[in-house]
Amino acid sequence: MPRTYLTRTAPDVGEIEHRRWMFRHPLVIRIAHWVNALCLLVLLMSGLQIFNAHPALYWGNVSTFDTPLMAMSSTEDDPPKGVTTVYGNTFDTSGWLGSSTGPNGEPADRGFPAWATLPSDQDLTGGRSWHFFFAWAFVLNGLAYLLYGLVSGQLRFRMIPSLDQVRHFGASVWEHLTLRFPQGDEAKRYNVIQKLTYLVVLFVLLPVQVLAGLAMSPAMDAAFPFLLTLFDGRQSARTVHFVVAALLVAFVIVHVALVLLSGFWNNMRGMVTGWFVIERKVEPAASPETRGGAA
pLDDT of residue 6: 42
Cα 68 from Cα 234, distance rounded (Å): 14
25-63+113-282, CATH topology level? Fumarate Reductase Cytochrome B subunit (1.20.950)
pLDDT of residue 71: 95
Count of beta carbons in the 10 Å neighbourhood of residue 238: 23
pLDDT of residue 293: 46
Cα 142 from Cα 229, distance rounded (Å): 26
pLDDT of residue 16: 44
Cα 87 from Cα 70, distance rounded (Å): 6
Q: At what angle do helices 234-261 and 27-52 cross, to 10 degrees?
A: 130
56 in Cβ contact with 72 (< 8 Å): yes
Domain ranges of the chain: 25-63+113-282, 64-111
Q: What is the pLDDT along the chain (295 residues), one digit of tens a residue?
A: 555 444 444 444 444 456 788 888 999 999 999 999 999 999 999 999 999 999 999 999 888 888 999 999 998 887 889 999 999 899 999 989 998 877 676 778 899 999 999 999 989 999 999 999 999 999 999 999 999 999 999 888 888 998 888 888 888 889 888 888 877 667 777 889 999 999 999 999 999 999 999 999 999 999 999 999 999 999 999 999 999 999 999 999 999 999 999 889 999 999 999 998 887 655 555 555 544 444 3
Count of beta carbons in the 10 Å neighbourhood of residue 287: 9
11 in Cβ contact with 280 (< 8 Å): no
pLDDT of residue 126: 96
181 in Cβ contact with 205 (< 8 Å): no
pLDDT of residue 143: 95
pLDDT of residue 200: 95
Cα 179 from Cα 173, distance rounded (Å): 10
pLDDT of residue 295: 37
pTM for the model stands at: 0.85
